Amino acid sequence: MKTIHVRNSLLTNSSVEFLVNSYEIGTIIKCEFLTRGLNDTYSVFTESNKYIFRIYRKGWREKTDILYELDAIKHLSEYGCRVSIPIKRKDGKWLSEIYTPEGTRYGVLFTFTKGDRPEINKENCYLIGKALGNIHEASDSFITNHKRNFELNFLHLVDEPMSLITPTLQKFMKNSKDSFLNQIITNIKFDIVGKNLEYGFCHGDFHNFNMHLMEQKIEAFDFDCCSIGYRSYDIAVFWWNLKQNYSNVENQCWDEFLNGYLSQKSISNDNLNVLLKFVTLRRIWLLGTLLKNDDVWGTHWINKKNLDNFLTQLEQDVEKF
């Protein structure tokens, strides 16, 4: 009989409720599945509070990666950054081991970030930039014994994604764009390597979908993509978000974001001058991530039209380098 393999199981609400009984949070009223992405997220309600329970996907993050992330979040909280923090189990452990058909997965309970996703306007973008500046400033002293299995460097942002993008373009574009894309990457690498860029802890996915605003204060969550890496990339992710989702207010909001960041942390001209190039790398990383995780996003979107749109965005970036 052929063995059946499972890539990514989904736990029932009742199973999650059983798991979160291992935490000292009071009487649990209910657990609700919230969203599926690169990890599975559930809302947990008690008589007095709300929490978030995240179950990390098998093969996406290893145990040491998760412990690195939690150490970083705890460090930031201790240094005054507003972040959603992990909660220990009754047995003193940070991780809940979950035995699923695809193998051992890990769950973490986090505090719930109150407020709402910040609207994109000049005032809020200043606060968002300020929050990222605080994170970078506070994390300069971060150390941990846990290993992160990737850094936000060329290997992770370009080389690994391109191993998936190249055959996809060859399939749908018949090699017509290979030289164009390879030349862009070669030029970006050459330009970045020649500069003295800041390298340190990064959130990795810092945009308004991964934070809430309450009483004019930003609280960040979802550090799943954090690691050490190019700080210019971490800053550029927000610019990418503006270009992708809020192009009508891009210029004014980007200026305010930078003003907010610079109010908390200085940045050299070398770092500022390569930000648009890191927007391009963000586009490459994202496409590679979508292709790699087809069990999350499917394959229906992989077609010539969407690939053309990706290449057009890169062309528009290059025009402004």
| pLDDT for 176 | 66
Listed in order, the ranges of the chain carrying CATH 3.30.200.20 are 13-111
Residue that has been written with the tokens 């990514």 in this structure: 8
Listed in order, the ranges of the chain carrying CATH 3.90.1200.10 are 122-319
Q: Span 122-319: which CATH code? A: 3.90.1200.10
How far apart, in whole angstroms, are the C-alpha atoms of residue 283 and residue 182? 14
Whole-model pTM: value is 0.95
DSSP 169-229: HHHHHTTTTHHHHHHHHHHHHHHHHTS---EEEE-SS-SGGGEEEETTEEEE---TT-EEE
Q: State which CATH number among 1.10.357.10, 3.30.200.20, 3.30.70.260, 3.20.20.120 fits the domain covering 13-111.
A: 3.30.200.20
Q: What are phi and psi of 120, to 5 degrees?
A: -90, 105
**How many residues in the chain?**
321
Return per-residue pLDDT of the chain as tens, 321 residues: 788 889 999 999 999 999 999 999 999 999 999 999 999 999 999 999 999 999 999 999 999 999 999 999 999 999 999 999 999 999 999 999 999 999 999 999 999 999 999 999 999 999 999 999 999 999 999 999 999 999 999 999 999 999 999 999 999 987 667 788 999 999 999 999 889 999 999 999 999 999 999 999 999 999 999 999 999 999 999 999 999 999 999 999 999 999 999 999 999 999 999 999 999 999 999 999 999 999 999 999 999 999 999 999 999 999 888
How far apart, in whole angstroms, are the C-alpha atoms of residue 121 and residue 119? 6
How far apart, in whole angstroms, are the C-alpha atoms of residue 16 and residue 18? 5
Contact between 37 and 296 (Cβ < 8 Å): yes
Provide the token pair at 300.
Answer: 């229906």
